[in-house]
């Protein structure tokens, strides 16, 4: 058995750093980590980046007394590694440049002991090692590097890298404040490394990140390094801060560019595989070619389209804006670039008075306003369905699977269930269940059509009404994205109606986004601002929902995470 004494090959501070790094690697989810490293990276762009970049390792530089003793020291830290150490050209050259030394005098090696992520996915702790024997002239270098952790970074492996993808990823990172910070090609591994400095707003202790692309991509690397040289010549800290602020201030332009994109039907006119020239595309959508090209270049910058010498084509993000795409987000672009965009101009009024900006602008709440405009109401209902990815795991919830397995038929009642997106998924997954959908008259008509088209309409009944009309014969009740529309008093009223209707054996599943208990970036934080300005409601923490349930005679008995930063709360009668 390896004894702790073997860690004497490493200084105690290096041992502590190794163990902390290993724990970090084992705990992180890729998409959550990306959103923490690059605050502001969210929604479809976060999903697109996370689809092609996998969190692979966290790295640190240590200084063993000798290389042979390092492997035993790693094993004593729970990081056994049987692979041969490889030379580190990139880190060696960075150290030499930083300390004005000859690279030939620095024997830097890499070991990558394995670790595993929360779902068992293979990862590593990347250990750079520079041997510094006692009394070595390199001792001052080691002390400086331990104090500043220049080589500590987070690494993401790029899936199936090619020049177009690498340029797109670099552009996405730059849009969210990442700055080119070196890199290199390692011939020993045939891999290309792109380093970035994380933005000052990053929510981790790491200030550097790496994209690792297998293969030789020195053409893209040259662009990366030239961008770094230009930035170092042209910008200081104040200039970088001003640039970051400008990116924030111009965020509204992206909203309107996306709204214009769907209004012009560009996603339908473009193809994800075959590029289309501007002149032909302008003819297709009825636009001026020069003006359309300006819009397309902006859309390329934000990752909706990509450009090559033959024209423009759609990216994976752009495909989500097609009307016929599964889970199309076109209605969201129309809502966020339309009435909700207009109401956000009155956010300061909402903050000063507590009156939603929407009501200040339109003179009525959004539900009443949409009821007067059937076209707008239909777009709003479709926009709610556009967030349906959060429902993907919900039919497998133990409450629903238990109801489906019951010896007699069970009924699921979806309260204010919109056009039936969630209820339809539940009924499709569990043929033994029956459903009831409670909604406003015009929504019920759309839900009936939708659920019939999906083949579950024969197992669903429809009730027109409000929260006071909740049916009392249910076994499972669904309340999805409803409570965040209202203030606490109205929420307690809604929940009391539900508690009065629910039989004693019934379960209630509430779907909402939960505010984090710390400063972790979350879609719920953004939606909290949206609710303030547009509905008068709010997002809440789990304990705040528990208090609302308690006031209505209900009890929160469990919660599970869902996609898009949502959660399902399991509630029962006390």
Task: Give CA angle at 178 (190, 107), nearest 5°.
Answer: 40
Active site residue 484: yes
- DSSP 3-state helix, strand, coil percentages of the chain (rounded to 5)? 50, 20, 30
CA–CA distance, 101 with 107 (Å, rounded to integer): 12
Sheet holding 476-480, edge to edge: 460-464, 434-439, 411-415, 476-480, 507-513, 566-573, 554-562
Burial tier of 253 (Cβ tally within 10 Å: 0-12, 13-18, 19+)? exposed
- Which residue out of 99, 484, 505, 570 is catalytically annotated? 484
Beta carbons of 455 and 428 less than 8 angstroms apart: yes
Closest CA to 74 of 82, 89, 27: 82
Closest CA to 199 of 167, 160, 247: 247
| Maximum alpha-carbon separation in the chain | 83
Burial tier of 153 (Cβ tally within 10 Å: 0-12, 13-18, 19+)? buried
Question: How distant, in Å, are the alpha carbons of 169, 282, 316, 424, 553 from that of 308?
Answer: 16, 17, 16, 42, 61
Closest CA to 419 of 394, 437, 435, 406: 437
List the catalytic residues.
Answer: 484
């Amino acid at each position: 058995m390896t004894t702790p004494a073997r860690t004497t090959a490493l200084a105690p501070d290096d041992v502590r750093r190794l163990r902390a790094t290993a724990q970090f690697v084992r705990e992180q989810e890729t998409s959550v980590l990306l959103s923490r490293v690059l605050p502001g990276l969210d929604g479809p762009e976060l999903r697109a980046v996370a689809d092609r970049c996998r969190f692979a390792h966290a790295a640190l530089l240590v200084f063993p007394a000798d290389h042979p003793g390092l492997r035993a020291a790693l094993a004593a830290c729970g990081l056994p590694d049987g692979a041969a150490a490889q030379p580190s050209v990139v880190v060696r050259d960075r150290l030499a440049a930083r300390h004005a030394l000859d690279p030939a005098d620095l024997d830097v090696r890499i070991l990558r002991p394995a670790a595993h992520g929360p779902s068992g996915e293979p990862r590593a702790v990347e250990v750079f090692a520079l041997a510094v024997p006692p009394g070595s002239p390199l001792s001052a270098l080691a002390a400086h590097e331990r104090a500043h952790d220049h080589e500590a970074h987070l690494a993401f492996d790029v899936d199936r890298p090619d020049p177009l993808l690498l340029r797109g990823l670099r552009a996405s990172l730059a849009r969210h404040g990442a700055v080119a910070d070196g890199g290199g090609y390692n011939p020993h591994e045939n891999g290309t490394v792109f380093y970035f400095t994380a933005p000052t707003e990053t929510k981790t202790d790491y200030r550097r990140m790496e994209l690792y692309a297998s293969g030789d991509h020195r053409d893209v690397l040259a662009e990366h390094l030239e961008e770094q040289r230009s930035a170092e010549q042209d910008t200081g800290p104040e200039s970088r801060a001003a640039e970051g602020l400008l990116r924030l201030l111009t965020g509204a332009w992206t909203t309107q560019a996306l709204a214009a994109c769907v209004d012009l039907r560009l996603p339908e006119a473009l193809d994800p595989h075959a590029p289309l020239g501007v002149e032909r595309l302008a003819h297709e959508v009825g636009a001026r070619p020069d003006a359309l090209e300006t819009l397309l270049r902006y859309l390329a910058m934000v990752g909706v389209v990509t450009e090559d010498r033959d024209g423009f084509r759609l990216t994976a993000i752009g495909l989500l804006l097609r009307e016929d795409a599964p889970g199309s987000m076109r209605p969201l672009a129309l809502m966020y670039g339309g009435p909700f965009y207009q109401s956000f101009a009155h956010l300061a009024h909402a903050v000063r008075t507590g009156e939603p900006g929407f009501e200040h602008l339109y003179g009525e709440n959004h539900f009443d306003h949409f009821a007067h405009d059937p076209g707008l109401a239909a777009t709003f209902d479709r926009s709610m369905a556009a967030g349906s990815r959060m429902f993907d795991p919900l039919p497998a919830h133990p409450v629903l699977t238990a109801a489906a397995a019951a010896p007699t038929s069970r009924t699921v009642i979806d309260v204010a269930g919109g056009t039936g997106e969630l209820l339809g998924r539940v009924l499709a997954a569990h043929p033994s269940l029956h459903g009831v959908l409670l909604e406003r008259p015009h929504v019920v008509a759309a839900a009936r059509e939708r659920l019939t088209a999906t083949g579950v309409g024969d197992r669903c009944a429809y009730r027109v009404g409000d929260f006071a009309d909740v049916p009392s014969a249910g076994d499972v009740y669904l309340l999805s994205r409803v409570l965040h529309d209202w203030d606490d008093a109205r929420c307690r009223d809604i929940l009391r109606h539900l508690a009065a209707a629910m039989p004693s054996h019934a379960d209630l599943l509430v779907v909402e986004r939960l505010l984090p208990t710390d400063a972790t970036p979350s879609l719920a934080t953004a939606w909290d601002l949206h609710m303030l300005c547009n509905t008068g409601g709010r997002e809440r923490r789990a304990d705040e929902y528990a208090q609302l349930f308690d006031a209505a005679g209900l009890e929160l008995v469990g919660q599970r995470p869902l996609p898009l930063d949502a959660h399902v709360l399991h509630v029962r009668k006390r």
